[in-house]
Amino acid sequence: MPLAHNLNKVTKNLSKSTASIHIKGRKFKQLNRATLRDKKITEKKQKSLEQKTNELAILFFLQKLIKEQFKAAEVFTLVEMQSFIELFIGRFDDELAQLRKDRRPGRPQTSRQQILEEKVKHEEHIYHTGYKIPNLTDKDTVEKLRVWNGTTGATTGMKFVLITKQTKQLPTKDEEMS
């Protein structure tokens, strides 16, 4: 079975031949498969990057919050962590209220308003199913979050927990997510 080549390699090999490519020919099918393969890989990379960006958004928010507003605090309680998540979800409330106020009666929503409302709705759904955030009850994790450089690789040293709206207590050391 032939090895899968990337699109650049296939087009380079096809450009060497001077003949035109027939629609039902082997070279055309090869080019088509390579194009579809390249498109699929690009879509997967884009989806993965978007997912990582969304996961890091709450980490940036928490880092900013504990660096600016809670400089003296070393650890946080579960209730405080839940309030941080609620603050994160409500960060667009002022802008949404302004957009709703500015809209004339009978007019459709602006695209910005639709995007923000969908984002808030999605984040509330995640909050009900569980946000994976750093365990702020652990002193080392709080310090690591304060000096975090913003990359995904730097999060590997932090301890994470799953926080939902209904969480009553944090998991023990054995149950924590790594």
Task: Characterize the bridge pairing of strands 131-134 and 160-163.
Answer: antiparallel
- Percent of the chain past pLDDT 70, that is, above it, reads 92
pLDDT digits (tens, 9 = 90+) for 54-97: 889 999 999 999 999 888 888 899 999 999 999 999 999 999 99
Q: Is the pLDDT of residue 2 over 80?
A: no
3-class state of residue 161 by DSSP: strand
What are the chain's domains?
7-175 (1.20.1440.170)
3-class state of residue 131 by DSSP: strand
What does the DSSP 8-state code read for residue 2? Answer: P
Mean pLDDT score across all residues of the chain? 86
Q: Is the pLDDT of residue 27 over 90?
A: no
Residues 6+ apart with CB under 8 A from 148: 59, 63, 154, 155, 158
Q: CA-CA distance, 52 to 30, in Å (whole number)?
A: 33
Q: Which of 17-21, 33-37, 97-101 has the lowest mean pLDDT?
A: 17-21
The amino acid present at 17, given as its one-letter code, is S
pLDDT of residue 1: 43
Whole-model pTM: value is: 0.73
Q: Tell me if 14 sits within 8 A of 29, measured CB to CB.
A: no
